[in-house]
Amino acid sequence: MKNRHSDPNIRVRFAPSPTGVLHIGSARTALFNYLFARHTGGTFILRIEDTDRGRSTIESENNIIEGMKWLGLDWDEGPDAEGPFGHYRQMERLGIYKKYAQKLLVENKAYHCFCKPEELEKEREAQMKEGIAPRYSGKCKNKSKDEAEKLIALNTPHVIRFVIEPKKIIVNDLIRGNVEFDSSLFGDFVMVKSDGVPIFIFSNVVDDIEMKISHVIRGEDHLSNTPKQILVYEALGAVPPQFAHIPMILGPDKSKLSKRHGATSIDDYKNQGFLADAIVNFISLLGWNPGTDQEIFTREDLIKQFSLERIQKSGAVFNIEKLKWLNGNYIRNLKIDKLTELCIPYLQEASLMVLAPSEKELARLEKIILLEQSRIQTISEISGHIDYFFKEPQIDQKILIPKKGNAETTKKALDASAVFIMTIDNADFEANKLKDIWYKFCEQNNFKPIEVLWPLRAAFTGKEASAGAFEIMEILGKEKCVERINRAISVL
């Protein structure tokens, strides 16, 4: 869904590492890139940064891709939508990185480093003892090309390091303004590992150059990488993209959101019965706001209103209650057939249903779910709300007796109700008619409505809170209502 005012110069990417599942933080980064691309009519790219061979898995890649599809974050170029700058998996682009690394080596902007891990560790420990921030000393930079070539010919393990020129670096961030760094604190960093695979700082820059990325929108945890990447852009004679580092997502205690705060993966929320549109709406507001009091947004609203200028610098607090509230709003706006379709797997998981419902059963199920549509906040809650329609509820004497009531009056009300129900015509056994019928019954028998309706509803459901008694009666039918009333009487 591209903006009709297309801007081919706007190109953004979401570049996850497939080392785990799609999390809320990564999903928000993907969303902000998606919204910016769609708002400007630019191009949204999915690039898989799978150079961590020890941790990257195809299962994680599939999870990320499926999660983005479920959220409706469609991309224009990616692993399954090859564009003019593919491939879109980094391990399929090793030849490109080799070419760029060779360019830097030839221009003396990079060099081979043969230092052993134990040498580097000793160097690091010595610097720490002296109170110096650990960084590579650069001793291999002084090796001649002949010496380096001889060591390479002997298959001596080595890496390629990037030459850091000491200078002040200004990152002009679209969200944070100018952020200054001192490159003399960095040390010459590894850009290609001993196995020939580039590290993130280098491969990321090469891909962004090759794919003509105009804006890099990513989490603020990447801000510290940015000055090094700017140096790589400059060394390669390329103009850096514009950077926008979005704020961290925080837990309620204002620390970085993590598993200890509860679920964090998109799969977790999907399985709990959150809707994709609700999650998109919710995470769009984690760090961005439209400048109004609006809280519920359609996808079109978000695309129309989104801008980088309205992203805040400070961390965004993840409020699960706000997400539930939003999800409840989206549930209430679902058509009942769609909501029922979404509920069925949860009912089957709870063993309330086994087979797919017949046409008649489906019509009844829709009536049942309609009773709870305004009361549930997640789809997974449905089983606990309507289980009494599928199995006999456990009746607790305590919930049968209304406040300020007593067992004797409650038993009389239930006894009278059991007899009265069987006198009601089948044609009148509908919620809209039962209300008038029942209030007349209460008046004629000197009962307060709560003395009858509270124990009736509790007898039908076994719950303190549920849908209304009349709606439940209509669906249960007369015989089942009387049966449950008699069971309730037996515990008084």
Q: Please spell the DSSP secondary structure of 368-394, one letter per residue.
A: HHHHHTTT-SSGGGHHHHHGGGTSPPP
Assess whether 215 and 309 both reside in one domain. Answer: no
Of the residues 246, 270, 296, the one at which a domain ends: 246
- Tokens 């760090």 correspond to what residue? 287
Q: Is 254 designated active site?
A: no
In a domain, 259, yes or no: yes
Assess whether 205 and 167 both reside in one domain. Answer: yes
- Choose, from 259, 313, 391, 440, the residue flagged as catalytic: 259
Distances 67 to 16, 59, 123, 240, 473 between C-alpha atoms, Å: 12, 12, 44, 30, 41
Q: Which residue has the higher pLDDT, 2 or 47?
A: 47
Assess whether 239 and 108 both reside in one domain. Answer: yes
Of the residues 230, 246, 262, the one at which a domain ends: 246
* 5, two tokens: 């005012």
pTM: 0.93
Q: List, for residues 328-348, the tens digit of each pLDDT value.
A: 999 999 999 999 999 999 999
Mean pLDDT, to the nearest integer, of 96-105?
98
In a domain, 1, yes or no: no
In a domain, 365, yes or no: yes
Q: Within 13 Å, how many C-alpha atoms sit on residue 316's CB side?
A: 23
455: pLDDT strictly greater than 80: yes
Of the residues 246, 264, 284, the one at which a domain ends: 246
Assess whether 189 and 104 both reside in one domain. Answer: yes
d(CA 236, CA 99): 11
Distances 449 to 434, 442, 476 between C-alpha atoms, Å: 13, 6, 21
Assess whether 54 and 102 both reside in one domain. Answer: no
* 102, two tokens: 């060779």
User: Pick from 223, 229, 177: which is nearest to 199 by CA?
Assistant: 229
Assess whether 102 and 217 both reside in one domain. Answer: yes
Q: Read off the CATH number of the domain in which 455 is found.
A: 1.10.10.350
Q: Read off the CATH number of the domain in which 309 is found.
A: 3.40.50.620
Whether 48 contacts 89, CB under 8 Å:
yes
Assess whether 293 and 437 both reside in one domain. Answer: no
In a domain, 424, yes or no: yes
In a domain, 276, yes or no: yes
Assess whether 241 and 131 both reside in one domain. Answer: yes
Assess whether 85 and 102 both reside in one domain. Answer: no
Assess whether 482 and 409 both reside in one domain. Answer: yes
Assess whether 97 and 204 both reside in one domain. Answer: yes
Res. 5 pLDDT band, cuts 50 70 90: low
In a domain, 327, yes or no: no
Strand order in the sheet with 110-113: 110-113, 159-162, 190-192
Q: List, for residues 190-248, the tens digit of each pLDDT value.
A: 999 999 999 999 999 999 999 999 999 999 999 999 999 999 999 999 999 999 999 99
Q: Read off the CATH number of the domain in which 366 is found.
A: 1.10.8.70
d(CA 207, CA 92): 12
In a domain, 102, yes or no: yes
User: Pick from 268, 308, 263, 265: which is nearest to 289 by CA?
Assistant: 308
Question: Could you give the angle at the alpha carbon of 207 between the alpha carbons of 203 and 212, nearest 5°?
Answer: 155
Helix residue ranges per DSSP H, 113-223: 117-129, 145-153, 200-210
2: pLDDT strictly greater than 90: no
Q: Which residue type is seen at 8? A: P
Q: List, for residues 104-119, the tens digit of each pLDDT value.
A: 999 999 999 999 999 9
In a domain, 392, yes or no: no
Structurally, how many domains does the chain consist of? 4
Res. 259 pLDDT band, cuts 50 70 90: confident
Q: Which residue type is seen at 415? A: D
Assess whether 132 and 223 both reside in one domain. Answer: yes
- The secondary structure of 195-237 as a DSSP string is TSPBPHHHHHHHHHHHTT--EEEEEGGGGGGHHHHHHHHHHTT
Enclosing domain of residue 45: 11-90+249-317
